[in-house]
Structure 1
């Protein structure tokens, strides 16, 4: 197994954690610039990372490094909501607007059933054209439950919140935690749909 990672720190961390697996190599490079040294692979997997690859070159590169009959697999995750279930963003929209007005990133996650209708193709604006055959799509639902403080800590790990100035982020998240405690019974869900999209390399 060969792992390709562009970040120096992440590549070093992966090497440390995978040191006991002698058949795993971690190579530091962007996928588009990676030197495959003529190697060909049976499966190429990108987990929540393909959106970083330039589609104008990435799909052709994926096709080229796969053996004939090889498979491309993309994994992704979407935050979703269920109709009628209390949902944090709906309960805190006024707080988000108060502490960080006009941020276009705020808003409801899509309904789970709406996301499940996107079950054709690769789910991307720029697909691979004729380089890969029809996709197989599978959905895997999951849910995490948090109390108010736990949900606020979860939000602290997300880039949308990490980009906020500290003097905006912390009062906002303190208010979100308090709202979950007082309006949602100190119990809030974070629902996900994980999706696997698989396609075979065309000849």
Structure 2
């Protein structure tokens, strides 16, 4: 299976984990977040469970508990860690145990785990300090697995989103990011290469691997417009500006028939903790 080559890390100050205002904005509407965000492939969950020495999972940046519940359904015991009380409160109501804090500052109180996972969240963690913390709390042979979804909406929908950003928030870094030619898959491959580099720099792990899972999900107009406000570029927009974005994107979906099929690639950067 493929290993992940080393890639240059972003310049200081540009790393996502330093952008705390964005990182802490997802809890504005946890109900929508949990409803609209896609789940993870069952094959990914099963592979992590099979590659771990036992069923005790630490879920970093667990949010509303989407992946935590999937691991519970696979027979695991899951403890979540998340800095946002709003997201944690939602997760607790669904049966997930959550402790509050950033992973770097969280106190494990001597506890150890068979796997440390992070779904769509590791880019908010310092890549070296977080990996070192994971190595500290993993049992020998335990696995770290950080994963997320890469996807590109149809061109008509993406073009409408770019136009909307330029209209309502032309100075936003997201307006520039959405206009870049680089695909989401290329962006995520770079991001997960940086995560793997963090594993190497922290020490205590074997050579990182990349796992890939390709799948599709269909969206109606209303389903995609429910999803969009949960994304980082839109979570902090004022309601009137958000309404403009949703109107423009919704019109674009109407023009292509009112629905579309989204190809997803779920990538994981993963490594096993050394046994000695």
Query: Do these two structures clear the TM 0.5 threshold for a shared fold by scoring above it?
Result: yes
d(CA) in 2 for partners of 1:152, 1:134: 40
Deviation track 1:158-182 (CA, whole Å, cap 9, x = no partner) reads 2312322322221232122122212
Contact map agreement 1:88 1:180 (CA 8 A) in 2: yes
Which among 34, 37, 44 is matched to residue 116 of structure 2?
A: 44
Q: Equivalents in 2 of 1:79, 1:187: separation in Å?
A: 16
Higher helix share: 2
Q: Deviations over 1:89-139 (max 9, x none)?
A: 1355445434443521323675477579x4997443851223311123221
- The change in CA–CA distance for 1:181 and 1:71 in structure 2 (over 3 A counts) is same
* Distance in 2 separating the partners of 1:173 and 1:14: 27
Q: Which runs of 5 or more residues in structure 1 are unaligned? A: 20-24
Alpha-carbon contact 1:90-1:108 (below 8 Å) kept: no
Relative distance call for 1:112 and 1:67 in structure 2 (3 A) is same
Determine which structure has the larger strand proportion and give its number.
Answer: 1
Distance 1:109 1:71, change over 3 A: farther
Q: Contact 2:123 / 2:191 at 8 angstroms: preserved in 1?
A: no
Check the 8 A contact 1:148/1:179 in 2, yes or no.
no
User: Residue by residue, what CA displacement relative to the aligned partner does 1:13-61 show, whole Å, maximum 9, x if unpaired?
Assistant: 3233217xxxxx4322322222222222221112222222223422211
Q: Which runs of 5+ in 2 are unaligned?
A: 1-76
Aligned to 2:233, which of 160, 171, 180?
160
Aligned pair 1:101/2:174, yes or no?
A: no
Measured in 2, the distance between the counterparts of 1:125 and 1:136 equals 8
Question: What is the Cα deviation at residue 200 of structure 1?
Answer: 0.9
Aligned pair 1:69/2:146, yes or no? no
2:265 to 193, 196, 199: 193
Query: Residue 22 of structure 1 aligns with which residue?
Result: none
TM-score (norm 1): 0.76
| Aligned residue among 8, 13, 19 for 2:90 | 13
**1:127 aligned counterpart, secondary structure:** helix
Distance 1:114 1:56 in 2: 22
- Work out the number of aligned pairs and report it: 193
